[in-house]
Amino acid sequence: MRRPGSLRALLSCATATVLSAGLVALGGGGAVAAQGAPSHHAEPKPKPMPAHVAAPYVETWTGESPAALAAASGNEYLTMAFLQTDTPGSCTAYWNGATAQPVSRASFGDDIAAIQARGGNVIPSFGGYSADTTGTELADSCTSVDSVAKVYESLVTTYGVTRIDLDVEADSIGNSPGIDRRNKAIAEVQRWARHTGHHVQFSYTLPTTNTGLAPSGVALLRNAVGNGARVDVVNIMTFDYWDGATHDMAADTETAAAGLHDQLATLYPKKSSAKLWSMIGVTEMPGIDDYGPQETFTTQDAVTVKKWATAKGINTLSFWALQRDNGGCVGTAGANSCSGIAQDTWYFSHAFEPFTRPFPRGGGAGAGR
């Protein structure tokens, strides 16, 4: 995941930390309420996430309405990127790191409510490449586990969301104190959810090789297990491999996820293979990714991956990002507002959206368990 002007670092295959850009937002927003301030709105009623969900990322700093984009593209669910602190050392999270956009109904509240009224929901995402390289990812910035947990809880109570995404890459994936704080905060939120009757899931969005997570990603998940933090979804970024090879992006999605499945089996030895697949998510970058034409996710790749994801029973299909789902800049690599390939507008949304399926009657992950 990326934003304009983000610096790219070339990493070797040996280190295998994939580059996916995260975002420091420049966007505005007229919110003025302080984070954590009492709201005049009733707490939104939570709705569990579907068992299988398509939830593309949306760039929230552009000034566009997420609800309008969701309606135009046919998406019921969106992943909203990103939340981070405005300065290192802070324990206050803002949308896009912009102090005018606190966690408040005044910031995206109407958009989120509109999406929920249509039967969907959003997944707020913390971190991303820019936050993860500037010390403004929440758990890297804030040294209080309780304060990090309270921010996560505020997303649930303010917006009625039932999943929080944590995009950990670049410097953050090697920051052991931040990793430990983040996982302790997840466990604290899960205890709070059990006691208060809230639904809340956590997904980790992590860089991958085409054969699975690098050791740093496995270590992050191992720390979660050690801290008693339930990770509901491990979402791998199956793009920006940056290894100099020409990739069959659909095939490499499948091998990356298969490698992750086997890694999860070592961390969760009591889970069945089907349960492990149901913990997996994949995020593609439609068209030409940041590396270049050697890593091009085509329209046919989207069809292949959707069929594979359905057959395997994975949890989440996503892509970076909704604003790129058009063919307005054929031949351009890594653009923020177009895919770089010839395509119909919203092609990838329409290809992935049928993947969304509800829980079986009476089900619901993250329901305080």
The yes-or-no verdict on residue 26 having pLDDT over 90 is: no
> Lowest-pLDDT range, 3-12, 148-157, 222-231, 273-282?
3-12
Range of the domain at 278: 53-355
- Decide if 268 is inside a domain: yes
Rounded Cα–Cα distance for residues 159 and 152 (Å): 11
List the beta bridge partners of residue 203: 165, 233
Give residue 47's pLDDT band: very low, low, confident or very high (50, 70, 90): confident
- Decide if 110 is inside a domain: yes
The β-bridge relationship of strands 77-85 and 296-297 is: unpaired
- Decide if 322 is inside a domain: yes
- Decide if 283 is inside a domain: yes
For the chain, what is the domain count?
A: 1
The yes-or-no verdict on residue 19 having pLDDT over 60 is: no
Bigger pLDDT: 62 vs 17: 62
Q: What is the per-residue pLDDT for 4?
A: 35
Average pLDDT over residues 272-294: 98
The yes-or-no verdict on residue 225 having pLDDT over 90 is: yes
Rounded Cα–Cα distance for residues 347 and 327 (Å): 9
Give residue 8's pLDDT band: very low, low, confident or very high (50, 70, 90): very low
Q: What is the per-residue pLDDT for 360?
A: 55
- Decide if 45 is inside a domain: no
Angle of the 215-226 helix axis to the 249-267 helix axis, nearest 10: 40
- Decide if 238 is inside a domain: yes
Contact indicator for 40, 75 with CB cutoff of 8 Å: no
Q: What is the per-residue pLDDT for 352?
A: 98
pLDDT, tens digit, for every residue of 356-369?
Answer: 987 554 434 433 32
Average pLDDT over residues 175-185: 98
Measure the CA angle with vertex 2, ends 83 and 96; round to 5°. 25
The yes-or-no verdict on residue 170 having pLDDT over 60 is: yes
Rounded Cα–Cα distance for residues 101 and 174 (Å): 28
Full 3-state SS string of the chain: CCCCCCCCCCCCCCCCCCCCCCCCCCCCCCCCCCCCCCCCCCCCCCCCCCCEEECCEEEHHHCCCHHHHHHHHCCCEEEEEEEEECCCCCCCEEECCCCCCECCCCCCHHHHHHHHHCCCEEEEEEECHHHHCCCCCHHHHCCCHHHHHHHHHHHHHHHCCCEEEEECCHHHHHCHHHHHHHHHHHHHHHHHHHHHCCCCEEEEEEECECCECCHHHHHHHHHHHHCCCCCCEEEEECCCCCCCCCCCHHHHHHHHHHHHHHHHHHHCCCCCHHHHHCCEEEEECCEECCCCCCCEECHHHHHHHHHHHHHHCCCEEEECCHHHCCCCCCCCCCCCCCCCCCCCCCHHHHHHHHHCECCCCCCCCCCCC
Q: Which of these, 159, 163, 151, lies nearest to 83 by C-alpha position?
A: 151
Tokens coding 362 = 């009476």
CB-based burial label for 338 (10 Å; 0-12, 13-18, 19+)? buried
List the beta bridge partners of residue 93: 85
Q: What is the per-residue pLDDT for 40?
A: 44
Specify the length of the chain in residues. 369
CATH number of residue 175's parent domain: 3.20.20.80
- Decide if 106 is inside a domain: yes
The yes-or-no verdict on residue 35 having pLDDT over 50 is: no
pTM of whole model > 0.85? yes
- Decide if 243 is inside a domain: yes
> Lowest-pLDDT range, 12-26, 126-140, 151-165?
12-26
pLDDT, tens digit, for every residue of 249-276?
Answer: 999 999 999 999 999 999 999 999 999 9
Contact indicator for 31, 339 with CB cutoff of 8 Å: no
Give residue 301's pLDDT band: very low, low, confident or very high (50, 70, 90): very high
